[in-house]
Structure 1
Amino acid sequence: MKIKRRVFNLVFKSKVIRAFELIQNYSKVAKMYNLNRKTVRLWVNQRNNIQNLNTKISRFHVKYSRPILYEDLESEINDWVNKSRSDGVCISGKMIKIKALELSEKYGLNLKASAGWLSRFLKRKNLVLRRVTSCGRSLPHNHLEIINDFIKKCYDNLTGRTKEQIYNMDETAIYLDSPENYTYDVRGTKRVVSTTSGNEHTRLSIAFCASANGTKLPLVILVPRKTPFKDFDPPANVVLVYKPSSTFDAETFKTHFVQRVFLPHILQRSQKKPLMYFDNAPCHKSPITTDFMSDLNIDYEFIPPRHTNLVQPADVSWFKSIKKSYKDRWVEWYLNDSKSFTKNNNLKSPGFVKVICWLSDIWSNFDTN
């Protein structure tokens, strides 16, 4: 068997020579760098030649960078990008090139705003393309004051109540297919395909509710179909509602959450004047809901608009963890579980029943802390 020779560059040899100058022991240096003792001694004896060669090569390998012809213009574009991003505006490469051409014309310059210029400009200004992680309106200018007032109000609402009497509820959507938005593929691939069952837009709407002491109420799950499932008894912590639109309106919310879930829960515990925190969804603020809850002597408070992602427990603490657990279940199913296929050999989704059981299990095991 042919033994492959090891090749060492001048940088490595210089490193070994510096180690010997510090330690002054051929054997120890050879052991440090997994070398033969004779090799180390040879390099040390040739140190002057090696260091001179290293200096000459580094002198000729100077990285070339193009001169910046329009530095002031690029600084103005960069300020515009930073200002736009601070306002939440999405900036594309095309927008940057259009802005560059506008400023070039304004100042009588000859910038062409080519793809190459854009690439170098982004590198110079440390700008990269990022995926948007949050959409919505910006916070009001006095948002800190609003948050402080809301927190103070929450403390005031604790008077005469235990944590068991304070609740938060919110709805979210779970999609039957939950594929990744990114995938590893061969560099240069033009068409990056994600094979799914075609149900990445088929959703269940779920209402989650829990008290401040960690008591979890049953889930209310809206299934987008008219007829009930055959031979399926939902788990004990799930209330199923068959509704083609799969959206919570005021009547659905009142009937299936307040009447079927929340009211039995507080009656069983003989709770007086419980307090529910809602966001500002229309089904929560509708008189159908608020009048009904007032008649039942249930107090309610609304999270300040546009602040739910900052102060509502469901948004801050629950949903990210729940959806991550759901994606883990979906990936495990996709990789390892037995699957069904259509007549045309297309993959079928996990199905509503399996997804409902996953959600029941995830909510049961959700950490109350």
Structure 2
Amino acid sequence: MRKAYTVQEKLDVVKKVRDGASQASVSRQSGVPAGTIRGWIKNEEKLQSAAAECHDSKGPQTKRIRGADDTTLDKALFEWFTQSRHDGIPLSGEILKVQAQKMSRQINRDDDTFKASDGWLWRFQRRHGIKSITVSGESKSANVESAAAYPTILRDIIDTEGLQIYNADETGLYYRMLPDKTLAEKNDPRQKTGFKKAKQRVTVLLACNKTGRHKLKPPVIGTSKNPRALHHVNRSTLPVVYQSSKNAWMTAYIFKDCFFKNFIPAVRHYLRQQKLKEKAILLLDNCPAHPPASTLSSHDGKIKAVLLPKNTTSIIQPLDQGIIKAFKSHCKRKLITHLLDSAMPPTDYIKTVTMKDVIFTTHYAWSQITTSTIDNCWRKGLGKAFDEDFLGFTETDITEAVAKYKDYAGEEALDVDLSSVELGVACDNDLPTSESKSDDQLIEDARSRSDDDDDEDEDAEPLQPPPGVPRRTAEEALACLEVSIQYIQQNPNSSFNSTTLLHAKLLLDMMRRDVVKSKKQQCITNYFK
């Protein structure tokens, strides 16, 4: 008789393999077929997500994870719960049941048969890790004293538990907006002539650890579920995690999905690689889109979220101390660089920027943030938690930054006014990344996530439909790559260096293997036709 294994049993077997044991030996010890173990390893992320979403002690022991019967209601109600808790509203089980019944009537109208029973409430709380807690009488507002006291609290947590510290925060990005400042001659009649600001936006979630050695793949949230630029693109190969919502805002559902499906597996993988304890906390601000910290924890409780004191994030949150600003600076510079390289008028160029461009610009900008920048920002915000102080940027740091700028600009280098640079980077600093929504808006957003609609590009100013891009073969890609390598080798004075050539040759080897795999094996009967 075939045995049904619990989620926890599957994870325990996978962990033994991850710890170095061979699949054959684990199979003999556990009595699980080797093929079954391979399947569990392949689906480890799904198992982690399933176990993490069951927060009670019996959750990982279940053999089947039961989802919500009405996914639209489930998502809308959880968003409402997160929003209400952010506003400091005490909630009970009876209040949840009344709100669920109300939302169900709005969703299903005359076809509503939903009953908010005690059993339904128990399953809803179990799915989302909602616990009953005592609400303290503290004021919602926080002050500078809270920010000053928190590093000591964090240091006690680190000393007690010996874990890794991460921080995550959202930022909005106008990915087509060009600077609204320009240099001009004093008597130039066109000095105030500009162009309409393009306000197409995305929200980017950045996360990293204290040392800066682990920068996680950033989720990018657009308005379109299936942007035209990503048609026929394998999204698992993208350098970001693409998500979507109606206004390109972060939502509690998206954040929870990213935490369990991306953050926890990525952190476990990194800690295993570094041979560190698999224990970590993620510091979060009190954004309305962030679910309660009690709902953000791995199944074993070793990786969890902790909320910073309210209204203190601008003072102590590491990402707000300069990391996000540096990230946006690289994004803006990349946009300007591509504009100059295109030799197109700005109004024409910005219409050609697609979601795929945004994704790779985001990846480039995030990769340019150095470990020293991240470490300095952590010191500035929470230095006392690590017995480290932020001493500011030295004269050498400033000199090197100026030298890099002049080297980048060459003969075009200008004596740039610092205020104009600040304004160019800060144009989307106040861009909202979440909002408080009505019941109707929550239900509409939940429906849009549940529907498998094939929506198109989200641009406010529609692009001209691009010509049909044919599906390229492995042979065509290989031929183009070989020509590119020949060009690099024949032009030693070009901007490509030896590292670029090495990467191109590694890619060439991979492409050759793909060409071999793509060729169908000949049958012996083919030779007698």
Alignment TM class, shorter chain as reference? 0.5 to 0.7
2:350 and 2:362 map into 1 onto residues whose CA distance is 22
Are 1:352 and 2:355 an aligned pair? yes
Contact 1:209 1:216 in 2 (8 A): yes
* Change in CA separation of 1:330 and 1:148 when aligned onto 2, cut-off 3 Å: same
Aligned partner of 2:281 in structure 1 is: 275
Letter aligned with residue 297 of structure 2: M
Distance in structure 2 (CA, Å) of the matches to 1:353 and 1:338:
20
CA drift of 1:239 comes to 0.8
Gaps of 5+ in 1: 1-139
Contact 1:278–1:301, Cα closer than 8 Å, also in 2: yes
Determine whether 1:330 maps to 2:328. no
**Counterpart position of 2:226:** 227
Contact 1:280/1:305 (8 A) holds in 2:
yes
CA contact (8 A) 1:217 1:237 kept: no
Whether the aligned pair in 1 keeps the contact of 2:260 and 2:298 (CA below 8 Å) is no
Deviation at 1:187, TM superposition (A): 4.5
In 2 relative to 1, CA 179–162 (structure 1 residues): closer, same or farther, beyond 3 Å? farther
Task: List runs of 5+ in structure 2 lacking aligned partners.
Answer: 1-140, 373-529
Cα deviation, residue 340, structure 1: 9.0
Tell me, in whole angstroms, the C-alpha distance in 2 between the residues paired with 1:346 and 1:336.
10
Counterpart residue number, 2:481:
none
Q: Per the alignment, do residues 318 and 148 of structure 1 end up closer, same or farther by CA in structure 2, a change over 3 Å counting?
A: same
Compared CA separation, residues 149 and 325, structure 1 to 2 (3 A): same
* 1:331-364 CA-partner distances (Å, limit 9, x unpaired): 112222255999xx68514221112101112212
Take 2:143 and 2:314, find their aligned partners in 1: how far apart are those partners?
A: 16
- Map of 1:176 onto structure 2: 175
* Compared CA separation, residues 174 and 341, structure 1 to 2 (3 A): closer
Q: How many residues of Structure 1 are paired with residues of Structure 2 in the alignment?
A: 221
Letter in 2 for 1:219: P
Whether the aligned pair in 1 keeps the contact of 2:165 and 2:210 (CA below 8 Å) is yes
Residue 255 of structure 2 corresponds to 253
Q: Which moved more, 1:205-214 or 1:305-314?
A: 305-314
Q: C-alpha displacement at 1:321, in angstroms?
A: 0.6
RMSD: 2.9
* TM-fit CA distance, 1:307: 2.2
| CA spacing shift, 1:328–1:264, aligned 2, 3 Å | same
**In the alignment, residue 365 of structure 2 is paired with which amino acid?**
I
1:291 to 2:295 alignment: yes
Question: TM (normalized to structure 1)?
Answer: 0.53
1:259 to partner: Cα distance: 1.9
Give aligned-pair identity as a percent: 22
After superposition, where does 1:52-71 map in structure 2 within 5 Å? Answer: none
CA pair 150-316 structure 1, distance change in 2 beyond 3 A: same
Does the 8 Å contact 1:339/1:350 carry over to 2? Answer: no
Match of 2:358, SS state, is: helix
Q: In the TM superposition, what whole-angstrom CA distance separates every residue of 1:249-304 from its partner, at most 9, and x where no partner exists?
A: 1111101x1122112123333554421100110122x34x6324275513332223
CA distance in 2 between counterparts of 1:224 and 1:177 reads 15
Contact kept, 8 Å, 1:209 with 1:217, in 2: the verdict is yes
Q: How do 1:11-90 residues align onto structure 2 when only pairs under 5 Å count?
A: none
- Give the letter for the 1:177 counterpart: R
**Structure (1 or 2) with the greater helix fraction:** 2
1:209 aligned residue: 207
- Describe the SS at the equivalent of 2:353: coil
Q: 1:308 aligns with which of 309, 313, 320?
A: 313
Deviation at 1:218, TM superposition (A): 0.7
Task: Pick 1 or 2: higher relative contact order, CA cutoff 8 A, min separation 6.
Answer: 2
Q: Which amino acid aligns with 1:240?
A: Y
Scaled by the length of structure 2, what TM-score is found?
0.38
Task: Return closer, same or farther for 1:290/1:187 CA change in 2, 3 Å cut-off.
Answer: farther
Stretch of structure 1 that moved more, 185-194 or 240-249: 185-194
**Equivalent pair of 1:171/1:205 in contact (CA under 8 Å):** yes
Q: Which has the larger radius of gyration?
A: 1
TM-superposed CA distance for 1:231, in Å, is 2.9
